[in-house]
Amino acid sequence: MEFNVAVINGDGIGPEIITEAVKVLKKVEELYGHKFNFHEVIGAGEAVDKVGSPLPEDTIEVCQKCIGTLVGNVGGSKWKNNPLELNPVRAVLNLRKKLDANINLRPIYLNKELFELSPLKERVLKDGIDIIMVRDIMGGMICSKRLTDDGFYGREASDIEYYNESIVRNMAKMGFELAMKRRKRLASLDKANVLASSKLWRTVVNEVSKQYPEVELEHYLIDNAAMEVIKDPSHFDVIIASNIFGDIMADEISQITGVADMLGSAEISTDGVGIYTPNQLHNPNEEIIGKNIANPIGMISSAALMLRHSMGLESEAKAVETAINKVIKEGYATEDIFFDGKTLVSTSEMGDLIAANLQ
């Protein structure tokens, strides 16, 4: 099978980790007989510097013709004082709109061999962490109208937490479908005790749940969920949440693994077109740029998500994930996940090892 893939190297460590993801995908080509046509385009800070826009029209046109877009690291201190329209992150935000990417999937897991890196005690981790965070990226205050004015108490601002039945229904269906393929547990997060948007969210999720009687549905208020996921992360399987709640919750769960750089992220449309980035899209450690020591596993994991969700290549996606797990189990580690007993490898060596373990 033949697929077109857009590649935005991005900023910072972006080019280094993208190189390793492409390396692994080319090995998949070789083993499975597929053809991936990679189309390199510019975006984020690189594009701001070169053409004065984080997402040039030429880049948009290429991405719209591709089944998936790989995006490396975005932004850095160089652009921190840029106005919003010239902020490198606008590349991803704008691309979401152009590709109609409305759901963010973030698989969050922790290999047993890396329990030591988690801030949680091992007795809490004994049953592991294996969660898929399903986050809306179409509605909520992040995507709604912003209001600013001068009021009685001086300057004032508000953001509208807007949701409609269609957005929530699509989110719920995605969550339930994923749960059916996993442990058949779905947690839905809201603030239905005070927010009208959350009351609608809970109502629609309950309606959709009737189509999936095999899935155990639990509703959590967001503040309670934030505590429970730390207390017993193994209890959670698939979690669905609104834009702002999902954004915060996904970051919290990623950090309790201690290996956020190893996690991938997918932003997909209803027709399967996707944007694939590492979980740590904005890696703040600029000291590692260009030194061949960054961890490429998050980007490689994202490539596996592209194989699964945009290309429908489940066996190939599992093969990549199995290769990652095998390399970790054998004790290989980049600098960020290295400790006594591990074998230190570089960015490129980690990519080589994962590609070599593909079967």
Contact status, residue 133 vs residue 267, Cβ threshold 8 Å: no
What the block records as the tokens of 154 is 């001086």
pTM above threshold 0.75: yes
- Is residue 282 packed enough to be buried (19+ CB in 10 Å), middle (13-18) or exposed (0-12)? middle
What's residue 40's pLDDT?
A: 98
- pLDDT tens per residue, range 243-256: 999 999 999 999 99
Contact status, residue 261 vs residue 280, Cβ threshold 8 Å: yes
Domains present along the chain, CATH in parentheses: 1-103+268-359 (3.40.718.10), 119-257 (3.40.718.10)
Residues of the chain with pLDDT under 70: none
Contact status, residue 96 vs residue 137, Cβ threshold 8 Å: yes
What's residue 118's pLDDT?
A: 96
* Per-position DSSP letters for 155-169, written without gaps between them: EEEEE-----HHHHH
Phi, psi of 75, rounded to the nearest 5 degrees: 85, -175
* Residue closest to 123 by CA, chosen among 252, 234, 224, 226: 234
What's residue 322's pLDDT?
A: 98
Contact status, residue 185 vs residue 238, Cβ threshold 8 Å: yes
- Name the DSSP letter for residue 13: T
Give the residue ranges of DSSP H helices in 3-43.
14-32
- pLDDT tens per residue, range 100-124: 999 999 999 999 999 999 999 999 9
Q: What dihedral do alpha carbons 136, 244, 139, 132 form, nearest 10°?
A: 0
* Residue closest to 236 by CA, chosen among 325, 102, 304, 134: 134
Q: Which residue has the tokens 């001086």?
A: 154
Tell me how far apart the alpha carbons of residues 312 and 324 are, in angstroms, rounded to a whole number.
20
Contact status, residue 80 vs residue 19, Cβ threshold 8 Å: no
What's residue 253's pLDDT?
A: 96
